Structures are given as C-alpha cells and as structure tokens.
Structure 1
Amino acid sequence: MDIDVLGALDVRENGISITPTAPKPRQVLALLALHADQVVPVSALIEELWGGLPPRSARTTLQTYVLQLRALIATALDGGDTSRTAKDVLVTLPGGYLLSGGGGKSDVREFERLSGLGYRAVDAGDHPGGARLLREALGLWSGPAFADVQGGVQLDMEIRRLEETRLCALDQRIEADLRLGRHREVLAELTVLVSRYRTHENLHGQFMLALHRSGRRGEALDVYQRLRTTLVRDLGLEPSAALRRLQRSILMAGPEGGAPAAVGAGAGAGAGTVESTRVERLVRV
C-alpha cells in the first residue's frame, strides 16, 4: 500500500486508489493511513467524526464506513495478490482498527527519514549534505497535509503537528543554505515566509541576515522594526535577546559573521497564526 498525505490524500492498494469521495469515510481512511500499521482506537475515530457529540449510532455508523473502505480495498485487490483479503488490509482488533501498509511507501515516513538524516548531517557540520537531504524531504510536500480532507478534532491536531515538522525542516534547510553563503538565493523564499509567519523570530532573523549579507542593511533593520511592532502590539512582548543582538550587530555594521549564538525555543507555526515568539535558532556563520 502506498500512502500520500502531504498534500491531497491518496491511498493506493495494488496500484489502485482506495480513497473514497464521501467526506466521513475519507476522514476515517485519512486517520488510519496516517497511523498505518498502528491500532487507531474506536474512540479516536468517533471523536474525529463527531467531536464531543457523537450520535447513539456512532459505533454502528463507523462500522459501516469501515465496510465501505473494505469494499474499495477488495476491488483494488481483485486480480492481484490473492494471499491478502480486505480484512487483512483493514484489520479489526480489540478496541480499534489497523490499516496494514504491507511494506508500501508512505510520504510521511519518508519525510521523517530524510529530515532526520538532514538534521544529523547539519549537526555534524555537513551543510551541503544537510541542505540536500532537507530539500529532498520538503519536496515530498505538494500542499498542506490532508489538503482535500475535511478534518475533525484528531486530524486537525495531526495537521498542526505535521506543519510544525515541515516548518522545522524548512528552518534548518534555510540555516544550512545561509551557512553555505546562499543568502541571495533564499531572499525570495524568506520574503514569503515572514509574511506568513508574522511572529516567527527565527525566520525573521534569517531574513535579516540574508538581507544584510546582500548589501541591504536598511531593509534588514526594517524587518526587525516590523517584527517588534507586531510582537508588542499583538502579544505585548519585546523581541528576544538573541534577535536584539542581531539587530545591534547589523546596526553597527559589524562583520558579516556577527550573528548571535543559537538560543533555545520553539518555532511558530500555522498561516497567520501565533504559536510561538521565541527564536529556535539564529544563524552563526
């Protein structure tokens, strides 16, 4: 079974799509596909479908959706591997259901594998290798996760988690590119990113650094002022000490390598939302 969720949902068995068009069976498949080869509790599926107000017939209706999915799987298996039945692919277990991946491809797992390799390469000082691996990992995304699925409580939570992992990989890839002197190459990308993540300090710091190294010192300082205005107005917070140090180093026209050291914290996520205002890592080159 091949599973794609980093964009539109596409689940294929024997090369044939088993993705239903009806919204609620689609939700069920989406949650099962994301957790392929793991048991998804009935309670989680019910919460996904109906939130905190499930109907009395919730379990029976869920079973109907599972039967619909098995019918699609059976059609896909017809003429293929006769050793597996639809019940072997979508398995009923005590307390929940399991979608058996059968050793097929999963874009989420491949993204996690490549990004993990990329992080380790960057940590080991292999910035060309890290940038390449992280770029390859990010290339698996064709749009927002589950872009064509109307998500409920469970999927919305997973979508936010996946977006955060994507943003972390993007942040690390940009850092690797900056360390390789590719400041001009990342300017257009960072222009879009800081507009989308208006309080993400690390992206703003990277943008400031890229602008400064491209000979655009005034614009770099303008980026800091816009971020500060947004933080103070929306959150009542000043920029972090690390970002203030970066601003001062640019203001003083210090050496190009004069970015502050890395500091701890999480990165913001979500288009137009505020989830964090601390710097995850500012670039020292």
Structure 2
Amino acid sequence: MRAEIDVLGTFEATIDGVSIVPSAAKPRHLLAVLAINAGRVVTAASLIEELWGVKAPRSANSTLQTYVMQLRKFIAGASSGADRYQPRKVLETKHTGYVLRVDRQALDVDRYVRLASAGRAAGAAGDYENAERLLRAALSVWRGPLLVDLTIGPHLEIEATRLSESRLTDLTLRIDADFCLGRHHQLLGDLAALCARHPHMENFRAQYMLALYRCGRPGQALEIYHQMWATIREQFGVDPSPRLRMLHQAMLVGDPIIDDPRFVVNGWAPDAITR
C-alpha cells in the first residue's frame, strides 16, 4: 500500500494514487485529524472535541462511528480484486479511539520535519551550504498554511500554530545561512516582503538591516531600525530588543564585524559570530 498525505496546504490523501478524501466537511475533517496523527491512536473524546468543540450533540459518538464507516468505504474503494485492502486494518478501532495505519513517511509534514532537522544540524556544525540547501528543501514542502481548505478545531489549531512557528524559525535560519555564504544581495527582495508581511518580527527586520548595510545602503538600514522602533513603541509601549539596539549601534559606529560573513543576527554555532 502506497499512501501519500499532504496537510501543509490543501488537504490531499491518496492510496495507490486514488483519493480517499470525502467531500463532506465532517468526514473530511476527521480524516485530516487521523492523517496528521498517522500511526498514533486518537481518542474518540479528542475527535469529538475537534469536530464539534464544546457544543457536541448527544449523538456525537454514533455519528463519529458513522463517519469512520464512510472513511473505510473510501479506503476500500482505493483498491479492487485480489489486492483489495482490509479497511478495518488501515483505519483501526482501538479501545479508546481510532488509528490510521499508514507509514509516517507518507506525510508531507514528516518530510518537512526531517529535512528541517537535518538543516539545523548542518548549520550548527558550520556547514552552511548544506544548511541552506536542506532548509530550502524543507520550506518548499509547504504549499500553504496547514489544512488551509478546512475549518479546523482546537487540536489542529494547536498543531497549526506549532508548525507555523517552526516554519518561521527555519526561514530565519535559512536566511542566516545565506548571509554566511555571502548572498546578502539576493536576500533584499525577500526580506522586504517578509518585513511587510510580519511587521512585528524583529528577526526579519534585523536581517533586512544587515542585508541593506552589506549592500552599501547604511542609511536605509538605519531607517528600518527607526521604523521598527516607532512601530513597537507606539503599539506596545516598549523599545526594540537589546540585540536589535546593539546591531543599530554597531552600524552607527561602522563596526567592521558587521561585514564578516559569519556575523548573523539569529545565531548558528560554533562558527557564526552573533550579537
């Protein structure tokens, strides 16, 4: 059985190339929860909370069982004849809930996690070429926000937040790897867009300042700092972080360390120079 499950974007799930995703919203939602937890038991209580929240109907348990039966029909329809799967073994009932028995490597989210972990390890070892390559490959697995075409419940919302934060971290580290490789000129456009998209994220602002400074545009780099200072001061009543203030001061005095390719604002170890 060859399964493929994509959750980093629109939801897609196939077995041997045949879609097993129902069109009805609730069974589709149920399959998404089971898919992202492939190989792990998801309790019936958790599934009911995810599908209905705090307003679960009295018939929730029996309705959940009906949805499971519908999913098993889709699984059975993915094959025929002698090769027909046993849906109850693919979507197995346990004492407390259900488990989808497919290889975790079938999930795009697991491919992302493996590539990102390898990229972070390469960067920590000072291998910035491989760090950049692996992190770029990890980020390319994303086709959009987690399950962007589903209305998700509390459990998937937590997972969506966790993975979105992980993606942003990996993106800042991939950009740092590019800095270590002397590619600051190529970063300007992407960093300008990221600052516009995430106006309160200091990481991207600091990286944009660094790229501008290294491209011979210190005035614009300092302007980015003052824009950030004004934004967070007005909206939150706080100053930029000590790290950003130190970067600003280093630019004001023309500290030569800023031009060292190993100088980054987020931090690789042991090779990178950070502030």
Matches within 5 A, 1:244-263: 244-255=245-256, 256-257=258-259
| 2:77 maps to 1:78 | no
Distance in structure 2 (CA, Å) of the matches to 1:119 and 1:99: 30
Q: Which of the two has greater helix per residue? A: 2
Distance in structure 2 (CA, Å) of the matches to 1:144 and 1:103: 20
Contact 1:25–1:65 (Cα < 8 Å) also in 2: yes
Distance in structure 2 (CA, Å) of the matches to 1:14 and 1:232: 55
Deviations 1:243-266, CA, capped at 9 Å, x for gaps: 100011112222233757758xxx
Contact 1:89–1:99 (Cα < 8 Å) also in 2: yes
Question: What residue is the counterpart of 1:271 in the other structure?
Answer: none
The structural deviation recorded for 1:81 is: 3.2
The structural deviation recorded for 1:102 is: 4.0
Contact 2:206–2:265 (Cα < 8 Å) also in 1: no
Greater CA drift, 156-165 or 168-177: 156-165
The structural deviation recorded for 1:155 is: 1.6
Q: Using a 3 Å threshold, how does the CA distance of structure 1 residues 81 and 162 change in structure 2: closer, same or farther?
A: farther
Matches within 5 A, 1:232-251: 232-251=233-252
Distance in structure 1 (CA, Å) of the matches to 2:190 and 2:264: 22
Calculate the TM-score normalised by the size of structure 2: 0.91
Contact 1:134–1:170 (Cα < 8 Å) also in 2: yes
Contact 1:178–1:283 (Cα < 8 Å) also in 2: no
Q: Using a 3 Å threshold, how does the CA distance of structure 1 residues 283 and 233 change in structure 2: closer, same or farther?
A: farther
Question: What residue is the counterpart of 1:41 in the other structure?
Answer: 43
Question: What residue is the counterpart of 1:67 in the other structure?
Answer: 69
Distance in structure 1 (CA, Å) of the matches to 2:129 and 2:14: 34
Question: What residue is the counterpart of 1:54 in the other structure?
Answer: 56
Structure 1 unpaired stretches of 5+: 264-281
Question: What residue is the counterpart of 1:5 in the other structure?
Answer: 7
Contact 2:9–2:147 (Cα < 8 Å) also in 1: yes
Q: Using a 3 Å threshold, how does the CA distance of structure 1 residues 46 and 74 change in structure 2: closer, same or farther?
A: same
Distance in structure 1 (CA, Å) of the matches to 2:223 and 2:115: 35
Aligned residues with identical type, % of pairs:
43
Q: Secondary structure at the match of 2:78?
A: helix
Distance in structure 2 (CA, Å) of the matches to 1:41 and 1:283: 47
Structure 2 unpaired stretches of 5+: none
Question: What residue is the counterpart of 1:101 in the other structure?
Answer: 102
Question: What residue is the counterpart of 2:18 in the other structure?
Answer: 16
Q: Secondary structure at the match of 2:83?
A: coil
Contact 2:6–2:13 (Cα < 8 Å) also in 1: yes
Distance in structure 2 (CA, Å) of the matches to 1:34 and 1:80: 29
Question: What residue is the counterpart of 2:179 in the other structure?
Answer: 178
Matches within 5 A, 1:124-273: 124-255=125-256, 256-257=258-259
The structural deviation recorded for 1:33 is: 0.7
The structural deviation recorded for 1:197 is: 1.4
Distance in structure 2 (CA, Å) of the matches to 1:160 and 1:142: 16
Distance in structure 2 (CA, Å) of the matches to 1:260 and 1:170: 14
Calculate the TM-score normalised by the size of structure 1: 0.88
Deviations 1:56-91, CA, capped at 9 Å, x for gaps: 111111111111111111100224734x31111111
Q: Using a 3 Å threshold, how does the CA distance of structure 1 residues 236 and 218 change in structure 2: closer, same or farther?
A: same
Deviations 1:110-159, CA, capped at 9 Å, x for gaps: 11111000000000000001000000111111111111111111222211
Contact 1:77–1:85 (Cα < 8 Å) also in 2: no
Distance in structure 1 (CA, Å) of the matches to 2:202 and 2:104: 40
Deviations 1:19-67, CA, capped at 9 Å, x for gaps: 1111111111111111100011111111111111111111111111111
Greater CA drift, 246-255 or 136-145: 246-255
Amino acid at match of 1:39: V
Question: What residue is the counterpart of 1:28 in the other structure?
Answer: 30
Distance in structure 2 (CA, Å) of the matches to 1:233 and 1:114: 39
Contact 2:38–2:104 (Cα < 8 Å) also in 1: no
- What is the number of residues matched between the two proteins? 266
Deviations 1:150-202, CA, capped at 9 Å, x for gaps: 11112222111111111111111001001111111111111111112111111
Contact 1:107–1:140 (Cα < 8 Å) also in 2: yes
